């Protein structure tokens, strides 16, 4: 199947899952996964699945950042980052993707996203899942107190991320804001988006590190190519 067809069928699958989520009529546990996903990789997916089962979450909504407040420029188009998450999550019935931040015209702040998600999914208890390194900077985010009051936070760590330092910061934040941040060590693959981008820019293989549909999407759309190689590839198409 051509990648465009795959994106279209993933949109339909995602719409069905979102409808199911909208129809929930009793209290439920909703995981919200925030990140740039530049690109999404197998460690993200394994981490979120690990958290979903560990905390008995009923559903997990991935919300890729559109224009993140703290990053002045991300060269990968937000729609490509969104499409890659769409493709990567299609096969998991408990995962769906929201275009909430991607379609926003202004920068998205987590405090606003969480407030709106609580309004939309009023019966949910929200668990915000992201990397521990991101959560450790939360005091620099807009309205840290408001954010920490609005959800339980799951800060995931993986090999290579300073677990002890993150743990100290999290304990400090929990005390200071009476927050509920839980740090979870996820013993999954030691890969990062930065590593994937570097491999791709060097023309090296990322097979088995990202879902094959995402890999295909990256090649077909010439993402993460250095400009010279990109032009060479486009000339060949």
193 binds ligand NAP (CB under 6 A): yes
β-strands 28-35, 59-64: how paired? parallel
47 binds ligand NAP (CB under 6 A): yes
Stretch that binds ligand NAP, among 15-23, 162-170, 189-197, 203-211 (CB under 6 A): 189-197
Distance set, CA 98 to CA 11, 42, 86, 183, 195 (Å): 11, 19, 9, 24, 25
211 binds ligand NAP (CB under 6 A): no
User: Within 53-112, which residues bind ligand NAP (CB under 6 A)?
Assistant: 65, 68-70, 109-110
Burial of 68 (0-12, 13-18, 19+ CB in 10 A): buried
CB of 178 to ligand NAP, least distance (A): 20
Residue 72 tokens read as 């002045």
Sign of CA dihedral 130, 131, 136, 140: negative
Site string for ligand NAP, 104-133 (x = CB under 6 A): -----xx------------------xxx-x
Where along the sequence are the contacts to ligand NAP (CB under 6 A)?
Answer: 33-36, 44, 47, 65, 68-70, 109-110, 129-131, 133-134, 141-142, 156, 192-194
């Amino acid at each position: 199947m051509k990648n465009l067809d795959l994106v279209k069928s993933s949109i339909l699958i995602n719409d069905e899952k979102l409808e199911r989520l909208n129809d929930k009529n009793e209290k439920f546990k909703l995981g919200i996964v925030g990140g740039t996903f530049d690109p999404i990789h197998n460690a993200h997916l394994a981490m979120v699945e690990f958290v979903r089962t560990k905390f008995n979450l009923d559903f997990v909504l991935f919300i890729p950042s559109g224009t993140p407040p703290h990053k002045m420029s991300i060269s990968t188009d937000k729609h490509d980052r969104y499409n890659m998450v769409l493709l990567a999550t299609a096969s998991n019935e408990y995962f769906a993707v929201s275009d909430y931040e991607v379609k926003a015209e202004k920068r998205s702040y987590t405090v606003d996203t969480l407030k709106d998600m609580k309004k939309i999914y009023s019966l949910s208890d929200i668990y915000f899942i992201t990397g521990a390194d991101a959560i450790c900077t939360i005091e620099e985010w807009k309205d840290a107190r408001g954010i920490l009051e609005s959800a339980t936070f799951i800060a995931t760590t993986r090999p290579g991320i300073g677990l002890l330092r993150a743990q100290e910061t999290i304990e400090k934040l929990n005390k200071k804001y009476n927050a509920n941040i839980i740090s979870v060590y996820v013993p999954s693959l030691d890969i990062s988006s930065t590593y994937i981008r570097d491999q791709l820019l060097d023309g090296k293989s990322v097979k088995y590190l990202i879902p094959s549909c995402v890999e295909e999407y990256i090649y077909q759309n010439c993402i993460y190519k250095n400009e010279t190689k990109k032009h060479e590839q486009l000339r060949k198409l």
